[in-house]
Amino acid sequence: MSEENDKKDFENIKELGVTNITKIDERIQVLPIIGQIEGHLMLPPQTKTTKYEHFIPQLIAIETNPSIEGVLIILNTVGGDVEAGLAIAEMITSLSKPTVSLVIGGGHSIGVPLATSANYSFISPTATMIVHPIRMNGLVIGVPQTFEYFNKMQERIIEFIIRTSRIKRETLKELMLQTDELLNDMGTILIGKQAVEYGLIDDIGGISEALKKLEELISNKKNSTKKP
């Protein structure tokens, strides 16, 4: 049994950086989204990643585990695979357990919908969020269908963000298309309070505020499910 536990700890250290899936207690699950979101293609081994195929089983385990009452999502990501990131965001939104997100370093690119996917979101005062259009990498075929594909992908992201935050569609598109903030690129950098003022994030805060809000959401859910 000890050998089996040692093997499990080794695998968790190798893949997750911890000896077990990080928990504050039995009721609250912590999910870190760090580095780049890795999807269908493997990134170089020296790149810090959140792996799509590792994250989804964790979300399913959370949903089916009756002892877990809430989820705290910690984000410090530069973005990454758009399809994988959006899929993870949709799964977080579909959880029946209360969720709170906290952006501590950065929530850039596809990290924006990942941050807004929780029931309530926080950002630390010095953390940043970069909102920009989808970038085209690699070979691009110059036909109308290519433009239409990227346009539809962009629309999916916009629809998700406005569905899961308080930002207006017009404001979000305006932030995405700004040309005077990012070098050789389009988009906007929002620092802490700015993300809240635009309605992208719910509140400024840190670990204590995020945990307090999560406990509040857990308590509210328990009270709403009690029979009269």
Two tokens, residue 47: 């790149």
Two tokens, residue 20: 């077990």
Nearest alpha carbon to residue 110 among 132, 85, 129: 85
Ramachandran angles phi, psi of 215, nearest 5°: -60, -35
Catalytic residue among 108, 124, 132, 165: 132
Total residues belonging to the chain: 228
Ramachandran angles phi, psi of 178, nearest 5°: -65, 145
- Contact call for residues 198 and 171 (beta carbons, < 8 A): yes
* 208 a catalytic residue: no
Q: What stretches of 17-69 adopt beta strand conformation (E)?
A: 23-25, 28-38, 49-51
* 2 a catalytic residue: no
CA distances from 82 to 39, 85, 93, 153, 160 (A): 8, 5, 16, 9, 13
| CA-only gyration radius of the chain, Å | 18
Catalytic residue among 101, 109, 117, 165: 109
**Catalytic sites, residue numbers:** 109, 132
